[in-house]
Structure 1
Amino acid sequence: MKRKTTKEIIAESYLELAAKKSINKISVVDIVENCSMTKPTFYRYFKDKYDLISWLFVRATKENLDRIGTDGCAWIDTLLDGIRCYEQYRKYVVNALKHTSGRESFINIMNETEIEFIELEIKRKLGQDTVPENLSAIVKIYCYGSGQYICEWLMDSRPAPCEMVAEALEACIPDALRPFLCE
């Protein structure tokens, strides 16, 4: 049986609270009291609650993004898995987007995470340690646009089906990135 780390216990405490109330009303004290930890323990692992939210996001999406380039995993499958992950955490993400001053930092972290994983795939396929500047710019533009769209989709009271969102994101992949993501 795998034991949970202190970091995971703190994160679960936050998720329990975020399911019940607005994120801007959740304090670090609330989080640690909910899991019988102390504030110093929280700060040993996270800078603040926004750092915790970001860690949860990165952790949830990393598994899906790590599949990029593995045998039998098409980019559309990776996109669909990612969108389903957002769907699974919709109430927490929407809560973060609506009720925190950390909206921009959350979007930035989302973009940075996606940029990092796409650039890793480009480096892997090119056999290089760096991504050419022109490709890096294209990756950023694609991720910024898709990140904004995903946030709007999450906030929509009647969101489109996950499959439609994934198909739209795949259709928008710039031609320069297709050899790295779609082949």
Structure 2
Amino acid sequence: MHHETKAILANALIAMLQKRSIDKITVKDLVEECGLTRQTFYNHFYDIYDLVEWIYLQTTEKSLAENKDYDTWQQGFYQLLISIRNNKVLVQNTYQSTNRDSLERYMHTVIYDQVLAVVERQAIGMSVDQKHKNFIAHFYSLAFIALICEWIKDGMKEKPEDIVEQTAVLIKGDFEKALNKYAK
């Protein structure tokens, strides 16, 4: 029931976003839309943006979990872009809202975890301090986030596969090269 209630709230929010911006939707509006109480909402979420982050995580969690190595990171990045495009109204509403940082926070969490997993796998057999692996993951995460934010701002016109292909060309071998420079 816990997950079902969250899904009901998520679906109601997505439906409401078809008619108005996220900054114009209140918890009261949302619970009235789906016939729940405010307390039910607050039993599950801190605020509307907490619900938005939950929606983002639910839509990307499975596809990214399966693509955490150097050979499949591109598929994970592609799946993330597809997920963002499939939730275009939600993402663009969040991006254009006063609380855009919730979108960026979500992207950083998801992308950093993904990139760090790839870096960790590339570092197997190397003696590299964790702080250096974390820095590499942070650096590339910020680059990915900047690309995604620019793509969102431009209306998601470029094909996800083109973004992934161009990114892959730029970073091919870079994780290993950086790790080798930091290796003891």
Partner residue in 1 for 2:151: 153
Distance 1:42 1:178 in 2: 46
Distance 1:158 1:78, change over 3 A: closer
Choose the corresponding residue for 1:79, options 74, 77, 81: 77
Choose the corresponding residue for 1:107, options 104, 107, 118: 104
Distance 2:112 2:156 in 1: 28
Distance 1:25 1:173, change over 3 A: same
Distance 1:101 1:167 in 2: 32
Unaligned runs of 5+ in 2: 178-184
Aligned 8 A contact 2:26 2:48 in 1? yes
Identity of aligned residues (%): 26
Max Rg structure: 2
Distance 2:145 2:64 in 1: 14
Aligned 8 A contact 1:114 1:143 in 2? yes
How many positions carry a matched residue from both structures?
174
Structure with the higher fraction of residues in helix conformation: 2
Describe how 1:81-100 pairs up with structure 2 within 5 A.
81-98=79-96, 100=97
Unaligned runs of 5+ in 1: none
- Kindly provide the amino acid, as one letter, of the partner of residue 116 in structure 2: E
Distance 1:69 1:112, change over 3 A: closer
CA positional deviation for 1:75 = 2.3
**For the aligned residues, what is the CA RMSD?**
2.7
Partner residue in 2 for 1:47: 46
